[in-house]
A and B are shown apart, each in its own frame.
Chain A
Amino acid sequence: MSNRPTEDALLPQAAMPANSTVKMPVGVPGYTLHEETRQAPASEPPVWPINKDLQYVGHSAHRYDGPDKASGRARYTSDVQLPGMLYAKFVNAALPHAKVISVDTSAAEKYPGVRGVYVVEHVLGPAELRNPALDRGRYPVVRFAGQPIAAIAATTPAAAQEAATLVRIQYEKLPFVVDLDKARESNAPPVFPGPADEEGSAGGGGGPSDVHQTGNVHGPSVHRVRDTEQGFKEADVIVEGHYITQVQTHSALETHGVVADWKPGMLTVWASTQGTASVREELAGYFDLPMSQVRVITEFMGGGFGAKFGAGNPGVVAAALSKKTGAPVRLMLDRQEEHLSVGNRPSSDQTLRIGAKKDGTLTAIHLVSYGTAGCGTGAGCAGPATNLYQYASLHTEENDVFINAGPASAMRAPGHPQGAFALEQTIDDLAVKLNVEPIDLRDKIDNHPVRRVERQIVRESALWKSRSPVPGADQGPVKRGVGLAQSVWYRFVRTNCAAEVRVHRDGSLEVLSAVQDIGSGIKTVLAQILAEQFGVPPSQIAVKVGDTNYPVGPDSGGSVTTLSLTPAVRDAAWQAAQKFLADIAPALGVSPSDLVLVDGEVRSGSGKFQPISFRRAAAKMTASQITAQARRVPDYDPSKYLTYGGVDVAEVEVDTELGRVHVRRVLSVHDCGRPMNPEQTISQINGGIIQGISFTLFEDRLLDPKYGLMVNPDLDLYKIAGAREIPQIDVRLVEAYIGQSSTDASGIGEAAGVVSIGAAIGNAVYNATGVRVRRTPMTPAVVLAALRQGGTQA
């Protein structure tokens, strides 16, 4: 399967304890709920019922760190100030492709306030040559404008910035290419002198390393299921489309950056990261330090969306400068650097053909895609075509095309918004050709049990019922349309994560994990799990996360955090509760099995004593602290429920005179296993929808073709949806139990609308105008051109 984040399947798995047979709720309450049998390790806690029968989990608890965030007290990496701290600034390449002949830092070193200068030895991020010997030279070859070359640490940000302008770099210019079509030409300037590959991060992205490379074309990576030639022969109808999507940058509000404090025996790093573990591993590896001497702290972080894994260039350089100067060093990228150098969503140029029988059965799907991940790889986008529908045959060819631009990195559902934009509009084209309703066609070709329920919810919605079956039916220049599209994402389980739960004799409870809260609200969910297990409100739980001093957490990429970590937390909480009850039972004169924890009290099941408060019961502990640690056990039945997703419906108004598309309403029906905190889950889905609208209508990384420089590296002409672009979003969260773990949670970050909303908008625009817009962003220029072309065709 393409674009799947690397599994940790290669890690040695813990020995599986003896299994026991359990019955678990599976399916969607009100639709398909039933019981299934699973083999679960005997050490697992009792099976939880569905949410309505739980007290805290599955209900909306206020965000754990909400008051800190709303008050400005939350301290992000960019806010960390340490005594004697220096401020670092990168010196970046101003050319898109060049050999660096010399780097003269002497003037910068003498500048007042400068304490240290570092020349970058190896650039992290771009694809690496299979044969590194091809890149001989003292300095890394510049492959994109904005590539870091050196860095300055000084006593003030201004001094660092001024000194940075004094670094003299001598280049030998190399021919460059920044246009995907030009880069594919046989005489295009090569971005790399030989085959090169980019590995994925913990968040996915990256491309295959087992493919050919011809010139700048890295691929194709071919995937075949049976014979598409035969499939098209058997087809009654064939639909085809050519779709183009642009490069999008993550544009997290907090830029990449760290504060590094290198002291003898301990390197402490505050990092704006999605993976404290990934930062520690990269720093320990790069500087050859034992893991025990690297500590990474991420209490708050201002958004990542897939781009923030590992130490990266800022982490390595800040640590090196801290080591060199003996002082803590803060290195936060500026907005321009954030656009240029730390990742993006690759573009796509897709030609998709689908063959079907008259009854809708898909006989063949054939996709050829090109896309650019800059000087990286990861532009594959065949995931939706491969994994959303039933088909008789499939042929996909994914090609990465190198250009002289910053390397891509994983971005929220890598490859999937692009792939779904083409696939889901082509499926709608098929429905038109077959003269069936698009929702009925999907019932025919999509056998995912939960999406079937989701389509049912859509079918019954007022929004879907308001859809005109006739495209372009509205009179007047402003036309309304409704369209739907589906999303798919995968259940990736990280068993390499753990948590510790502590019960203190004063009755306080805490949970510890190195996991970072990237805004999804995992802190709140951990508090809810302890609350459920101990029968006390979540507000009484202390959550300690974002510090590698705690048990290892999952890196937050690919929607793995909640589904991977929460079972470990529940297991630890359950074990701690069992230990706690065993410890206090003698003092209460009962056996542990007679004790229950509920409503803030410890009660005797047999009524042997009057209920006492949890705090009073804790005072009877024989030790000051009871702890339990648990690691994630593998899914109970890894052969089942490998994907999940949702159905999104968009209502648009197309001002056909201005070419403006305004999204008025969105109905977003999604599943994520057991929703742990519906309010926070809805927040993430809102976010996926809005990021997807922004991608579909506005955002575009623009590179000047003649000079290879980005002309809009800001938040002004790089246009991101704002308050007035936001539709009324109606999220229907579908509880979909799958019987896989002690919490039965799944993820939501990737599937949350961002995959499907672009195609839903495209289908709605078609419904409004009768014209298909096959290119993003759908700006007035693009929409007017499509309308004009559509008009002449009609």
Chain B
Amino acid sequence: MPGSAFPPPSPDSPPETPRSGITRRGFLKGAGITAASTALLEGVQTLRADAESEATPGVTEFGPGADSVRLHVNGAEHVLDIEPRTTLADALRLHLGLTGSKIVCDRGVCSGCTVWLDKIPVNSCMTLAIDAIGHHITTIEGLSSESEPHPVQAAFVRHDAMQCGYCTPGMVMSCAALLERNPHPTEHDIRHAVSGNLCRCGTYPKVFAATLDAAGSRRA
């Protein structure tokens, strides 16, 4: 379904239905343990290790304390201990040290915290981390490698589409997501795609130009 933001996971989501992702508590305890994704996902059936807590069929209990959960971030599995109230933004920034996404408004109106869930851009500040289980999470750090920036990132540098740079990761994620679903956007399309991204330095004109240019360079 176009625009599907969360379950069912898109075909390129990690296997297992509907949301694999919990490791046995104590088996892989602690934040920041990573492993190759495929190996760990196999055979994991439930959201939580202590599956016996599923007293009611179709119900998995979390919290209120920390549970060990597994998130699939930038192509790698991470196991972290989080409370149900932990937002994806905090999980990424505080637990995994992925500080590229920024918390600015903390209410979903500035998109500085934009990450992708299965290539769909969402506000990580308004997403609970446990709702990201079973999805491919892509952060600005996972968009590209240092040696080969994403075309949008390269275009942002070429066009000076940044000043203080604090909105830039969110802008890049929004513009790159636009090109994923619309490789040939008009400036009008770009304005709409970043209409939830706030920039206080006023860099928008160059964001538009850079994204148009990136689309052009992708065409080439």
Contact = CB atoms under 8 A, between A and B. Distances in A.
A/B: CB atoms within 8 Å of each other: yes
A686 B206 contact: yes
Contacts of A71: 100, 140-141, 143-144, 146, 149, 153
Nearest to B210: A70
B181 interface: no
Interface in B70-108: 83, 85, 90, 93-94, 97-107
Interface in B160-208: 160-169, 172, 190-192, 194-208
Interface in B129-145: 139-141, 143-144
B218 interface: no
A334 B197 CA distance: 18
A70 B99 contact: no
A686 B203 contact: yes
A157 B106 contact: no
Contacts of A69: 156, 162, 165, 168
A66 interface: yes
Given A72-B100, A722-B196, A303 B204 contact: no
Interface of A is mostly: loop
B205 A726 contact: yes
Contacts of A715: 104-105, 107, 109-110, 198
B162 A70 contact: yes
B121 interface: no
B157 interface: yes
A158 B90 CA distance: 11
Given A686-B205, A715-B105, A253 B160 contact: no
B169 to A, nearest CB: 4
A687 interface: yes
Contacts of A459: none
Contacts of B172: 70, 72
Interface size for chain A: under 10, 10 to 19, 20 to 34, or 35 or more residues? 35 or more
Contact of A72 (B94, B140, B205): B140
Contacts of B208: 723, 726
Interface stretch (A73-81, A375-383, A560-568): A73-81
A518 B102 CA distance: 17
A579 B200 CA distance: 44
A670 B74 CA distance: 44
A157 B201 CA distance: 28
Q: Which of A67, A75, A680, A691 has the most CB of B within 10 A?
A: A67
A679 interface: yes
Interface in A717-750: 720-724, 726, 728-729
Nearest to B164: A519
A300 interface: yes
Contacts of A728: 205
A70 B157 contact: yes
Given A63-B157, A70-B149, A726-B204, A518 B164 contact: yes
A187 B220 CA distance: 72
Given A62-B157, A71-B144, A71-B153, A253 B167 contact: yes
A316 interface: no
A253 B106 contact: no
Given A65-B165, A79-B93, A81-B97, A691 B200 contact: yes
Given A67-B157, A679-B160, A687-B202, A254 B140 contact: no
Interface in A676-706: 679-680, 682-684, 686-691
A724 B101 contact: no
Given A66-B156, A71-B146, A518-B164, A254 B102 contact: yes
B124 to A, nearest CB: 13
Interface size for chain B: under 10, 10 to 19, 20 to 34, or 35 or more residues? 35 or more
Contacts of A65: 165
B110 A724 contact: no
A716 interface: yes
A341 interface: no
Given A305-B200, A690-B204, A723-B197, A78 B162 contact: no
B9 interface: no
A691 B143 CA distance: 30
A714 interface: yes
A397 to B, nearest CB: 33
Interface string A485-522: 00000000000000000000000000000000011110
Contact of B165 (A519, A680, A682): A519
A249 B58 CA distance: 49
A326 interface: no
B201 A519 contact: yes
B163 A520 contact: yes
A302 interface: yes
Contact of B169 (A72, A254, A680, A726): A72
B112 interface: yes
B203 to A, nearest CB: 6
Contacts of B149: 67, 70-71
Contact of B109 (A72, A252, A686, A714): A714
B202 A690 contact: yes
A589 B98 CA distance: 54
A335 B163 CA distance: 20
B35 to A, nearest CB: 23
B167 to A, nearest CB: 6
B109 A684 contact: no
Given A70-B153, A79-B93, A723 B204 contact: yes
Contacts of A548: none
A251 interface: yes
Interface in B32-89: 83, 85
Given A686-B206, A715-B109, A723-B191, A303 B164 contact: yes
A687 B157 contact: no
B2 to A, nearest CB: 22
Contacts of A335: 104-107
A720 to B, nearest CB: 6
Contacts of A271: none
A296 interface: no
Contacts of B103: 78
A55 B65 CA distance: 61
B106 to A, nearest CB: 6
A157 B94 contact: yes
A301 interface: yes
Nearest to B173: A72
Contacts of A687: 163, 201-203
Nearest to A72: B100
Contacts of B139: 72
A252 B104 CA distance: 9
B160 A62 contact: yes
Given A79-B93, A726-B208, A729-B205, 17 more contacts: A62-B157, A62-B158, A70-B156, A76-B102, A78-B99, A157-B94, A253-B112, A300-B165, A302-B165, A335-B105, A519-B201, A683-B203, A684-B163, A691-B200, A714-B105, A723-B190, A724-B191
The 5 tightest CB contacts between A and B, nearest first, are A72-B100, A690-B202, A302-B166, A69-B165, A519-B164
19 contacts: A63-B157, A70-B154, A71-B100, A71-B144, A72-B100, A78-B99, A158-B85, A253-B102, A254-B164, A335-B104, A683-B201, A686-B203, A687-B202, A690-B202, A714-B107, A715-B198, A723-B194, A723-B207, A726-B191
